[in-house]
Amino acid sequence: MSRATRRLKLQETLSGLTGVKKAYFQPPASIQLEYPCIIFTYSNERILHANNYTYKEEDEYEVTLITKEPLPDETMTELRELPYTRFNRHFVNDNLHHFSYNMRLIERN
């Protein structure tokens, strides 16, 4: 599966989480966001080799839930339950709560 296909599937999954209006991939500053939303960005890759061939590809994303709620329990629970996802930090900016997660998408060849 290509990296672009994996990213589109991730966007579909994130858009379907309870309470999320839309998931944006690296949105430009000109876009007016609808809250609560998720912004995710590509942050890292890791490629493992065996016998001079690619064995496993890992794409890492930073996924940020942005909401007016201080603790959106249901959405946070659904995010935590996604494979290879871990909570990173929380911060408040412009009276909006930002919950940041690190997520890996793993493709085995």
pLDDT, position 52: 86
Each residue's pLDDT, cut to its tens digit, for the chain (109 residues) gives: 788 898 999 999 999 999 999 999 999 999 999 999 999 999 998 888 888 888 888 899 999 999 999 999 999 999 999 999 999 999 999 999 999 999 998 876 6
Q: Is 51 left (phi over 0), alpha (psi -120 to 50) or beta?
A: left
pLDDT, position 108: 66
pLDDT, position 31: 93
CA dist 51 → 48, 65, 84, 88, 107 (Å): 10, 40, 26, 35, 17
Q: For each of the domains in the chain, give its residue range(s) and CATH number, in order of start.
A: 3-108 (3.30.2000.30)
